[in-house]
Structure 1
Amino acid sequence: MVTVRVLDKDGNIKRRAPGWFGRLFRVPGRPMLYHHHNIVTREGDALIADALLVSPTKTKVSSSAGFIQVGTGWTGNSVKTNVRCNTPTGSMKALDSGYPALKAAWGNTGDTTITYRASFAAGALNANGINEACLLNGNATASNCLAYAQITPVVNVTISDTLQVLWEITILGQ
């Protein structure tokens, strides 16, 4: 799962503008908090297999080499083979301190889920129509894409907003 949150300058989750019905009855707009399915890409499958080797050859998506990229070019075509966002916007963002991390302590429900989070601070993005994201093992052109996701509905971020992307990958052993 990928969770996307848009935060205002005070760190609160922003709300979409209410529709005419909401304005009429003074109902606040929906929170800008979205949950989306993601896919481990073909490249990501290979990264996981490589990480299980005694001497891996590829860089892991780690606290020092993990990046999240967002974009506006979701097409729905060849999602499993995507290696980047189709139409990137802004710069890639390094993972936040403390990530990646297990969702739960070893031996507890959730210990097979690894989480990654990046926060695009206010001033980092000013974009409408963000509808895709990818998780990478670096910020160079040769970096590999572990996972890719569609973001729907699209997210609009102003220069004063913070966009936070939390990625969860559950190892199912299938």
Structure 2
Amino acid sequence: MQAKLRIKGTVRVCVIGPDGKIKLHEPSWWRRVFGLQGKPMLSRRHNTVTRQGEGLIADLLLAAPTKTKITSASGYIQLGTGWTGNSVKANTRCNAPTGAMEALDSGYPVTNAAFGATGDNVLRFRASFEAGKLNASNINEASLLNGNTAAAVSLAYAQVTPAATVTLVDTLQIDWEITFTGS
């Protein structure tokens, strides 16, 4: 019997306005005709664990790892506007970075459940770009990194769609889940 290990993930991107509510996109022509408001600025997409990320996971299983583990002290999320869909697995950063990288929120990463319970195989990361930290349009890519220097390794890369627009009064929250499964 052959065992198959799979690593998959999702990224949830949410733009929150100064009133604490999820912001809305401008309504499309069709929605305006029917008097409907715009769709929420909320995106949930699959991500790709990069080639670097696979190596990082393997390194962390060594008795003496050589790479930096992603923790709230060392983990960062980078955003960009250059999604192309080309060579996603080979990406080591965002193609067109925008704004500064944001450190993971305190206490992250965490698992969805205690060891031995359903959900203990899901690792969650979160970074919150608080109001005043980001002012960017057409954010359509994100990368989860183990640092904020040129030596940082990208664990995962994702498309953000629909693209997000964040002003200085908005908060952008990124929730990243990596699930490890086997069969």
**Same structural fold, with TM-score higher than 0.5 when normalized by the shorter chain:** yes
Further displaced range: 107-116 or 162-171: 107-116
**1:70 counterpart letter in structure 2:** L
> CA RMSD of the aligned region, Å?
1.2
Aligned partners of 2:74 and 2:87: how far apart in 1?
Answer: 25
What SS is found at the alignment partner of 2:79?
A: strand
Which residue pairs with 1:146 in the alignment?
155
Which residue pairs with 1:112 in the alignment?
121
| 1:160 to partner: Cα distance | 1.0
Mind listing any 5+ residue stretches in structure 1 that lack a counterpart?
Answer: none
TM-score computed with the length of structure 1 as normaliser: 0.96
Which residue pairs with 1:97 in the alignment?
106
Partner residue of 1:25 out of 23, 26, 34: 34
What SS is found at the alignment partner of 1:37?
A: strand
Q: Does 1:56 align with 2:65?
A: yes
Which residue pairs with 2:145 in the alignment?
136
Deviations, residues 41-80 of structure 1 (Å, cap 9, x unaligned): 0100010001001111100111110000000001111111
| 1:156 to partner: Cα distance | 1.0
**1:118 counterpart letter in structure 2:** A
| 1:98 to partner: Cα distance | 1.5
Which residue pairs with 1:161 in the alignment?
170
**1:154 counterpart letter in structure 2:** A
Deviations, residues 102-135 of structure 1 (Å, cap 9, x unaligned): 0122222221010000011111111111000000
| 1:85 to partner: Cα distance | 0.3
What SS is found at the alignment partner of 2:62?
A: coil
> Where in structure 1 do 4 or more consecutive aligned residues deviate above 6 Å?
none
| 1:19 to partner: Cα distance | 2.2
Which residue pairs with 2:13 in the alignment?
4
Partner residue of 1:74 out of 61, 65, 83: 83
**1:94 counterpart letter in structure 2:** A
Deviations, residues 142-171 of structure 1 (Å, cap 9, x unaligned): 110000001111111111111111100001
Further displaced range: 26-35 or 43-52: 26-35
